[in-house]
Amino acid sequence: MSTKVIALANQKGGVGKTTTAVSLSACLAKRKQNVLLIDLDPQANATSGVGIDKEEGASIYSALLGEADVRTLIKPTETKRLHLIPSELDLAGCEVAIARMDNYLHCLKNALQPIVDQNEYDYILFDCPPSIGILFMNALYAADSIIIPMQAEYLALEGLSVILSLIDQVRDAGNPKLRIEGIVMTMCDLRTNLAQQVVDEVQNHFGDVIYETLIPRSVRLSEAPSYGQPIIQYAPISKGSMAYMKLAKEFLKRQQSAPSA
């Protein structure tokens, strides 16, 4: 199989993108997949989440501008088979620089080509920034598919329609093969009626695109980043860890069956 490139994206902040990117990457690595996580958010939460210190000039910025080979930016992490291209604050400024380039929506895709050609990774996962800027659009142009983390809360569906129409636009404008890999419901507190109603509503609306695995709200998941450890290392038998392991299993099972929407 060739390297599959997946964007974890939702234009809303605080919905569990980074938590899902870090946790799912680590769980896939645990299941013997070679994973490259690319932190595209200037806030660099995925970088610190896997225990890598921010370092000036270490982000993908230089590769986006065509000034560095992206392969020189890859760092191993404490988790076996999980590698990272970190982020740091300079990524915030890169939008302006990229905007001046020809083909400015394809910078990330072009930069990643040497890695994809090498076929060394099973999956490349992007942790996307929460705003619809040039970096975010580059992620959608470079991706084969998108996983949408979504918080089980009031008006969740409205936010979803924004990202869905964006996907349609990107399909029309230059990445026709972009698929929805799946929607993950995060921070579910199923003891509340509201969360259950949202889950039901989203399931009715989107059916099989929603992962069956629901990610519960868990204090351990919110603590893990400050220890620089993915949840499966920080609290392997917690309910958050078990949920993400289950998600990884479901994700891999889907790879073998029918393609997603």
Report the nearest approach of ligand ADP to the CB of residue 10 (Å): 6
What's the rounded Cα separation, in Å, for the pair 104 and 65? 9
* DSSP annotation string for 160-204: HHHHHHHHHHHHHHT-TT-EEEEEEEESB-TTSHHHHHHHHHHHH
Which of ligand ADP, Mg ion, none interacts with 15 (beta carbon under 5 to 8 A by kind)?
Answer: ligand ADP
The stretch among 106-114, 163-171, 201-209, 210-218 that binds ligand ADP (CB under 6 A) is: 210-218
Nearest of 260, 31, 244, 6 to residue 123 by alpha carbon: 6
Pick from 186, 229, 238, 241 the residue near ligand ADP by CB under 6 A: 186
x/- track of binding to ligand ADP for residues 32-71 (CB under 6 A):
-------------x--------------------------
* CA angle (117, 121, 92) in 5-degree steps: 85
In the complex with Mg ion, which residue's Cβ is closer, 18 or 47? 18
Report the nearest approach of ligand ADP to the CB of residue 224 (Å): 8
Handedness of CA 178, 182, 186, 191 (dihedral sign): positive
The stretch among 12-20, 81-89, 116-124, 154-162 that binds ligand ADP (CB under 6 A) is: 12-20
DSSP count for the chain of H helices, then E strands: 11, 7
Q: How many CB atoms lie within 10 A of CB 196?
A: 14
In the complex with Mg ion, which residue's Cβ is closer, 38 or 116? 38
What's the rounded Cα separation, in Å, for the pair 11 and 131? 5
Which of Mg ion, ligand ADP, none interacts with 221 (beta carbon under 5 to 8 A by kind)?
Answer: ligand ADP
Residues 7-46 that bind Mg ion (CB under 5 A): 17-18, 45
In the complex with Mg ion, which residue's Cβ is closer, 122 or 127? 127
Which of ligand ADP, Mg ion, none interacts with 66 (beta carbon under 5 to 8 A by kind)?
Answer: none
Q: Is 238 in the site for ligand ADP (CB under 6 A)?
A: no
Cβ proximity of 244 and 232 under 8 Å = yes
Which of Mg ion, ligand ADP, none interacts with 48 (beta carbon under 5 to 8 A by kind)?
Answer: none
* Structure-derived torsion over alpha carbons of residues 87, 90, 91, 92, reported in degrees to the nearest 10: 130
Backbone angles phi, psi at 149, to 5 degrees: -80, 140
Backbone angles phi, psi at 141, to 5 degrees: -75, -30
Pick from 107, 221, 235, 247 the residue near ligand ADP by CB under 6 A: 221
The stretch among 11-19, 76-84, 155-163, 176-184 that binds ligand ADP (CB under 6 A) is: 11-19
Residues that bind Mg ion (CB under 5 A): 17-18, 45
